[in-house]
Amino acid sequence: MGSQTSDLWPAPLASTAVDADVRVPGSKSITNRALLLAALADGPSVVGEPLRARDTSLMVGALQALGTRIEEAPEGWRVSPGPLRGPGAVDCGLAGTVMRFVPPVAVLAQGDIDFDGDPRARQRPMGPILDALRDLGGTIDDGGRNALPFTVRGAGSMPGGKVEMDASSSSQFVSALLLAGARYDDGVTVHHVGKPVPSLPHIEMTVGMLRERGVQVDDGDPHTWRVKPGAVRALDTEVEPDLSNAAPFLAAGLVTGGRVRVLGWPETTSQPGDLLREIFGLMGAHVRVDSEGLTLRGPDTIAGVDLDLHDVSELTPVIAAVAALATEPSHLRGIAHIRGHETDRLAALASELNRLGGDVRETDDGLEIRPRPLRGADFRTYHDHRMAHAGAVLGLVVPGVRIEDIATTSKTLPDFTGMWTSMLNREAAA
Ligand SMILES: O=C(O)C1=C[C@@H](OP(=O)(O)O)[C@@H](O)[C@H](O)C1
Ligand SMILES: C=C(OP(=O)(O)O)C(=O)O
């Protein structure tokens, strides 16, 4: 990969301060939860304004493989639940939300469901969720790998009950059990044991979306979540813009000292990307939300930050890119688990920022970034959409950055290059 020139995208340099309105498509995390809950619901519903990207197509394909009908509707996708059944095959691609969220549904199907994904997907942590499903009464044949590929031998129902699980390597293990748990005979009680669970806002998103659909969830005790058995009510919804995918566009305003407005920023949200307001504010940006959206105005110089990103770890690549352009050192902490994301993001960020002449050191649980003048080079992305976003941000101000496999952005933003170019041409990127 990356050895051929055709794989390299010359990242556009910003000739002036960016000044643009941007519309980002729907949230990956909300779209895939809404689809899955619609497939488990007591009637048909519409997922409006969904994200249409690789991760959400994979979720659609997975649910269809289990017997759900999903069709185009004027507002988005109409989901008609059917009896869950195998045999079937699920391609997880590199989507954490598919490989973690769908097996707890597959145990409810009648028949065998085979799961596999991209080569890197086979290395992403799966053990805790597979063990938990077995403890709750499911049968999974993984050849002793505790990882993809595996077969869920669906029995048509699932006992459920109480389970202990170490979710320190991904919050998605907890979300996965909660999302399907209402359909288990005894519901589900998940008790986390181990180092702190990362990305807690994503678990809060899961709990909120379950409650919106009438599912009773008790999250009052520390490290414990209880879902009562019962129906998941069908609900027509509209997906919010993906605030994590807004990160590179806002960063463009920040690093060029320009202005970027992300249209339709929700007033209240469970998305961790909302924390960008605070984080980019600490880095010197002026940020304001009004009825139109969020407007960021970039500073003359970028401040260094010392941040624990445990709760918002998917924002790390773009924050690291901005930190490399600051006037002071930064320390990003609490993110050991992102070594298990699309790639080992700590290793990838250190290696690519240093390839551009940066001075970045990996720590056990984060990165130390000491800004240095950067120079153009080929920026590797390791099949990671957010590495590509980081490279594009750097390329705005560092001449000669070429990004390997920019198409990897299709995981969550198929038209990333179109949106990026429109932003630089001062048009609203729709
Ligand atoms: O539940 C979700 O939709 C997600 C949870 C988080 O996973 P981790 O807890 O593995 O970081 C996040 O990083 C990922 O992008 C999406
Ligand atoms: C970690 C991420 O994705 P996934 O849902 O595949 O875990 C991400 O999008 O940053």
Angle at 228 between CA 224 and CA 230, to 5 degrees: 155
Closest among 132, 107, 134, 140 to 191, alpha carbons compared: 132
Scan for tokens 């027509």, then name that residue.
Answer: 236
45 is in an annotated binding site: no
How many whole angstroms from 327 Cα to the centroid of ligand 1? 31
Judge if 38 and 118 occupy the same domain.
yes
Protein residue closest via CA to atom 5 of ligand 2? 96
> Would you say residue 428 has pLDDT above 90?
no
In degrees rounded to 5, what are phi and psi of residue 86? -110, -170
Asked if pLDDT for residue 5 goes beyond 60, the answer is no
Across the range 302-309, mean pLDDT stands at 98
We report the CATH number of the domain holding residue 203 as: 3.65.10.10
Q: How far is CA 222 from CA 189, 218, 334, in A?
A: 12, 11, 19
Regarding the beta carbon of 199 and ligand 1, being less than 6 Å apart is answered yes
State the pTM of this model. Answer: 0.97
Residue 232 lies in a domain: no
Q: How many domains does the chain have?
A: 2
Q: Does 132 map to a domain?
A: yes
- Cα separation, 386 vs 389, in Å, equals 5
Same domain (yes/no): 21, 32:
no
Given this model, what pLDDT does residue 176 score? Answer: 99
Q: Would you state the structure tokens that stand for residue 332, as one six-digit string?
A: 């990003």
Ligand 2 neighbour 97 (Cβ under 6 A)? yes
Of the residues 32, 172, 342, which should be mutated to test ligand 1's pocket, given the most ligand atoms within 8 Å of the CB?
A: 172
Give domain status of residue 429, yes or no. no
What six digits make up the tokens of 155? 């029995």
Phi-psi region of 24 (alpha: psi -120 to 50; beta: other; left: phi over 0): beta
Is 28 annotated in some ligand binding site? yes
Given a cut of 60, whether residue 105 has pLDDT beyond it is yes
**Whose CA is closest to atom 7 on ligand 2?**
96
Inside any domain, residue 81 = yes
> Hunting for tokens 């320009």 — which residue is that?
258
State whether 36 and 20 are in the same domain. no
User: Is 147 part of a structural domain of the chain?
Assistant: yes
Query: Across residues 39-48, what is the average pLDDT?
Result: 98
Q: Clarify whether residues 121 and 259 are in a common domain.
A: no
Query: What is the per-residue pLDDT for 429?
Result: 42
Q: Is 314 a catalytic residue?
A: yes
Write 277-280 long-range contacts (CB < 8 A, 24+): 279/305, 279/307, 279/312, 279/315, 279/319, 280/250, 280/251, 280/254, 280/322
Q: Work out the average pLDDT over 294-322.
A: 98
Instruction: Answer whether residue 100 is part of any domain.
Output: yes
Q: Does pLDDT of 2 surpass 70?
A: no
* Domain containing residue 77: 28-223
pLDDT at 426: 75
pLDDT tens-digit readout, 231-261: 999 999 999 999 999 999 999 999 999 999 9
What's the pLDDT score for residue 6? 53
Statement to judge: residues 187 and 300 lie in one domain: no
Ligand number nearest to the C-alpha of 198 = 1
Alpha-carbon gap, residue 242 to 8, rounded angstroms: 26
Tokens of 42: 């007591």
Shared-domain flag, residues 32 and 18: no
34 and 19 share a domain? no
Q: Which one from 240, 314, 342, 352 is the annotated catalytic residue?
A: 314
Q: What is the pLDDT of residues 326-367, one digit of tens each?
A: 999 999 999 999 999 999 999 999 999 999 999 999 999 999
Same domain, 125 and 42: yes
Statement to judge: residues 37 and 18 lie in one domain: no
Calculate how far, in angstroms, residue 202's C-alpha sits from the geometric centre of ligand 1.
Answer: 6
Average pLDDT, the chain: 96
Ligand 1 atom showing the smallest separation from residue 340 Cα: 10
Q: Is any ligand 1 atom within 6 A of the Cβ of residue 171?
A: yes
Three-class secondary structure of residue 66 per DSSP: coil
Same domain for 301 and 341, yes or no, is yes
| Ligand 1 proximity of 170 Cβ (cutoff 6 Å) | yes
Summarised one tens digit per residue, pLDDT across range 137-187 is: 999 999 999 999 999 999 999 999 999 999 999 999 999 999 999 999 999
